[in-house]
Structure 1
Amino acid sequence: MLYFKHFIFAFISTVGFSIIFNISRDCIIKSGINGAVGWIIYIIFVEHLNSPVMGSFFGALSVGILGEFFARRFKKPATVFIIPGIVPLVPGSGMYYTMLAVTEKRFIDAAEIGSETIFIAAAIASAIIISISTAKIIRESRAKRLYK
């Protein structure tokens, strides 16, 4: 039941950002599913490995892979599915608590929270780059085999 709640809330937040980003109507539900799946994978990794960085990496990797799949399947740009899909994974609370610790002059806490936030952001960026690059390599290798 807990995963279902997480799925629904992540789906709603992703759909909301899809509307804000002015994504076409036929892609809104698909991008919502993409974001919700990425969030569920994040939750599973955080629960089992107790690592928000690894959870963010694998959640973003799944968002990137599923976004590329949706892009090929529905003939749309991959960014239509990937950008709203990573919104639930963005470490907004980490950024907030880092700034809060700085303003309260708790610099050690700010360094700890801030460094974890930076690692999470880097993990998300790395996962998206890996998924997009892998999809491009696969497409190019298929095109080479097709034209030989």
Structure 2
Amino acid sequence: MYYIQQCFYSLCCVIGFSVIFNLPRKLLMPAGISGMVGWLVYVLIQPLTTSFIMPSLIGSIVVGIIGESFAYVKKHPATMFTIPGIIPFVPGYGIYYTMLHIVEGDVDQALMTGAQSLFIAVAIACGIILATTFMRKLKPYLLHLL
């Protein structure tokens, strides 16, 4: 039941952002699916590791691969599927608490939460880059199979 809730909430989150992002109506569900599957991977990997970076990296790789696949099938840019798809991974909680600790004068805690948020953001960017590179290298081989 927990995983079904997580899938539903992430789907709603991504579709809501996609509406704000002005995605065409026919692309809302594919973008939502890319974000939902990426978040499900994130939630499944999180208990398996002690790292806070690895789930974000692997989840964003999944979002990137699905986004590139949808881009090829739907004939639209991959950013229309990957940008909304990574929204659940964005470390808004960490950034908020970093700013709160700065305002309260707790520099040590601010540096710790800020560094964690920065590492997560870098992991998301690296995941998308890895997925895009992988799919671009793999695409000529996949075209021969189709």
Q: Same fold per TM (> 0.5)? A: yes
**Residue 105 (structure 1) aligned with residue 120 (structure 2):** no
1:42–1:52 Cα contact (<8 Å) kept: no
1:56–1:89 Cα contact (<8 Å) kept: yes
Determine the C-alpha separation between the residues in 2 that align with 1:117 and 1:17.
21
CA offset at residue 106 of structure 1? 1.0
Q: How big is each residue's C-alpha offset from its partner over 1:54-97, in whole Å with a ceiling of 9 and x where there is no partner?
A: 11000100000000111112222111110100001100111000
Q: Which residue of 2 aligns with 1:74?
A: 74
1:34–1:67 Cα contact (<8 Å) kept: yes
Unmatched segments (≥5 aa) in structure 1: none
1:58–1:127 Cα contact (<8 Å) kept: yes
TM-score normalised over the length of structure 2: 0.93
Q: How big is each residue's C-alpha offset from its partner over 1:30-71, in whole Å with a ceiling of 9 and x where there is no partner?
A: 101111111111111212213221110001000000001111
Instruction: Tell me the number of residue pairs that the alignment of Structure 1 and Structure 2 aligns.
Output: 145
Determine the C-alpha separation between the residues in 2 that align with 1:28 and 1:142.
25
Determine the C-alpha separation between the residues in 2 that align with 1:64 and 1:52.
19
Q: Which residue of 2 aligns with 1:24?
A: 24
Letter in 2 for 1:112: M
Q: Which residue of 1 aligns with 2:8?
A: 8
Q: Which residue of 2 aligns with 1:94?
A: 94
1:38–1:62 Cα contact (<8 Å) kept: yes
Determine the C-alpha separation between the residues in 2 that align with 1:86 and 1:28.
14
Determine the C-alpha separation between the residues in 2 that align with 1:67 and 1:45.
20
CA offset at residue 132 of structure 1? 0.8
TM-score normalised over the length of structure 1: 0.92
Q: Percent identity?
A: 40
Unmatched segments (≥5 aa) in structure 2: none
Q: Which residue of 2 aligns with 1:59?
A: 59
**What secondary structure sits across from 2:66 in the alignment?**
helix
